[in-house]
Amino acid sequence: MKSKKAFYVMVIPAVILFFIFHTMALLKGIFYSFTNYKGFGSWDFVGIKNYIAVFQDSNIFNAYMFTFKFAILTTIIVNVASLLIAVGLNSKIKFKNTLKAVYFIPNILGALIVAFIFNFVFAHIVPNIGQSLNMAALSKNILGDENLAWLGIVFVAAWQAIAFNTIIYISGLQTIDNEVYEACEIDGANNWHKFKDIIFPLIAPFFTINMVLCMKNFLMVFDQVMAMTGGGPGGATQSISFVIYNGGFNQGSFAYQSANAVIYFIVIVAISLFQLRILEKREEKVL
């Protein structure tokens, strides 16, 4: 009986706080998406007018294209790089624990702080280095180029995300028994076949976790866009999250962007479920 009371004492306050700061905000957003609310003053119901307008908005379409392009490329880069680093850190090398700590440092830094630092790096340090080396490609601030600015955001987001994914992959690698590695060596398997046929199939569940979390997080990219480009130049790096924030709070389109947010929530859930379905099927095949 005492254990049940302790359980309720710990859980109920957490549930109440979660409902107030998360669920209630979600429900209010859905409610306002059916109105013409500007974030202040009076409002009227407009039905699904906002939802229809979202599908006809070319600016939002462009933001979707940028967000998907960014999320897919960054997810691939992060998972490839973090898996390679994890395999290296899991091998028998000196200063392994120190290197793990070094690689994890980017994850404990605030995303906005990192983005502001790299904003300065791309604007001043990299161009100076490029000019001193007579390299035209590095002599300009790529964040000011409509065609290249998104690559700067990809680089910063990937650099910071690799740390967390590496830890997850290391956790997966440490679940593999040493006898498996010994059996591979006895059979004469080279490093590539050892990784492809033994190691990767055994850490498939961790690969699934990383892929789903990466895609979900990168689809909601905001901090890097806000700090590095502000959606520019010329709106080339506007993510959906940035459009929702900027339109809802700075342009008086609160209800309209609430509808956009509801649609995007459904899109993210659908993509995550699709990933889980495909990757879990793959796990069943390799295992």
Query: Does residue 17 sit within a domain?
Result: no
Supply 193's token pair.
Answer: 């076949």
Which residue(s) pair with 45 in the sheet?
Answer: 35
- Is 107 within 8 Å of 162 (Cβ atoms)? no
Query: Does residue 49 sit within a domain?
Result: no
Q: Give the domain CATH number at 97.
A: 1.10.3720.10
- Is 158 within 8 Å of 79 (Cβ atoms)? no
Query: Does residue 37 sit within a domain?
Result: no
Dump pLDDT digits (tens) for 24-79: 988 999 999 999 998 888 889 999 999 999 999 999 999 999 999 999 999 999 99
Query: Does residue 34 sit within a domain?
Result: no
Cα–Cα distance between 144 and 141 in angstroms, integer? Answer: 6
Cα–Cα distance between 213 and 224 in angstroms, integer? Answer: 17
Query: Does residue 11 sit within a domain?
Result: no
Cα–Cα distance between 189 and 182 in angstroms, integer? Answer: 10
Query: Does residue 16 sit within a domain?
Result: no
Domain count for the chain: 1
Query: Does residue 15 sit within a domain?
Result: no
Residue 262's domain spans which residues?
A: 62-286
Burial class (CB in 10 A: 0-12, 13-18, 19+), 24: exposed
Cα–Cα distance between 219 and 264 in angstroms, integer? Answer: 9
pLDDT in the model for residue 2: 62
Percent of the chain with pLDDT over 90: 50
Among residues 57, 229, 205, the alpha carbon closest in space to that of 150 is found at: 229
Dump pLDDT digits (tens) for 184-200: 777 777 778 788 888 88
Query: Does residue 32 sit within a domain?
Result: no
Dump pLDDT digits (tens) for 203-228: 888 999 999 999 999 999 999 999 99
pLDDT in the model for residue 266: 94
Cα–Cα distance between 280 and 277 in angstroms, integer? Answer: 5
